[in-house]
Copies of this chain bind each other. A is one copy, B any other.
Amino acid sequence: MQHPYLMFLGDVPDQLGAKTAQGIKDWRPDWCIGQLRLEGCQADLKLEDISLQEAINRGAKTMVIGIVNSGGFLPEHWVSQIVEAMELGMDIASGLHIRLADVPEIKEAAAKFGRELFDVRHPKGSLPTGKGTPRTGKRLLAVGTDCSVGKMYTTLAVEKEMKARGMNADFRATGQTGIFIAGDGISIDAVVADFISGAVEVLSPENTEDHWDIIEGQGSLFHPSFAGVSIGLIHGAQADALILCHEPTRQHMRGLPHQPLPDIQECMDMNLAAAKLTNPNAKFVGISINTSGLSVEEGDKMLANFEAKYGLPTVDAFRTGVAKIVDNLD
């Protein structure tokens, strides 16, 4: 996926519909040269509203459909804009459930104008099964007490901190927003079950001894819907360093009102046991808590309590940054 991006917001009815686009803008502001909104659009990335032609004039390479709509389909009245974007010279990247090439006009236009279509939810090509063979380079993986507890945010913050220190690091995306931010990656939850760990091995291949792959986690070993994704990620990552991500105001596992949250220590123990299967030296290097639902005082107290109780640097990646955790790496 080539940047810069033109951010296409269509006519989504609220800001939440542009959550993916917002994540891209937050983490890669330099890649986002403007937004294109249709009449009635209620989302705003605070980017300049520009036309398709103006996007081309400014060097846009890809038009990104980083929005979520109910059903994941592609509204018919977006198609003409997408076709025109390709005619003018842009590739198209989509986070919708529907495949771009499943819309005949889009498929034809891509062929006619020689443009690429990226469906970030849909892994391309064939993947191998995981092997678990030791490989060079260092890897860090975020794991969680639940889904949506800050794994992407934390790993992006670690990459940013490492790069600021001149370290050799790459964020490795495993979900759709992360893939737009990285420019590539594999949507791990969309891989066929037999190939989960194999996909992660492909995503974070052997590297130089000083290189860190900072791998975005998914799900939780304690989430009855998605633990298969999580354990495959853990085995495939062969992580040297694990960060536990947590959201302290959560009342139950996301989407499952009957399912209690795991105990923190139990959660770390099981993740570590799984990680040691493919890297006996795996260890936790920090805890990342999203304290946005607490007051600053409560949040600070919680971070201090976790540090004392678990003996690990504990941060709020957004509020305190992740420097303490990066300090703790070998």
Contact = CB atoms under 8 A, between A and B. Distances in A.
Interface stretch (A35-43, A81-89, A193-201): A193-201
A118 B241 CA distance: 45
Interface string A182-199: 000000111111101110
Given A190-B193, A194-B189, A228 B222 contact: no
A235 B231 contact: no
B277 A224 contact: yes
B235 A224 contact: yes
A309 interface: no
Interface residues of A, number: 36
A318 interface: no
A274 B270 CA distance: 9
A225 B258 contact: no
Given A192-B193, A193-B189, A196-B193, A130 B225 contact: yes
Nearest to A219: B194
Interface in A72-125: none
Interface of A: 129-134, 188-194, 196-198, 221-222, 224-229, 231-232, 235-236, 256, 258-259, 270, 273-274, 277-278
Given A133-B258, A228-B229, A231-B231, 18 more contacts: A131-B224, A131-B225, A132-B258, A133-B256, A134-B258, A188-B193, A190-B193, A190-B194, A192-B192, A192-B193, A193-B196, A193-B228, A193-B232, A194-B225, A197-B227, A227-B231, A228-B231, A228-B232
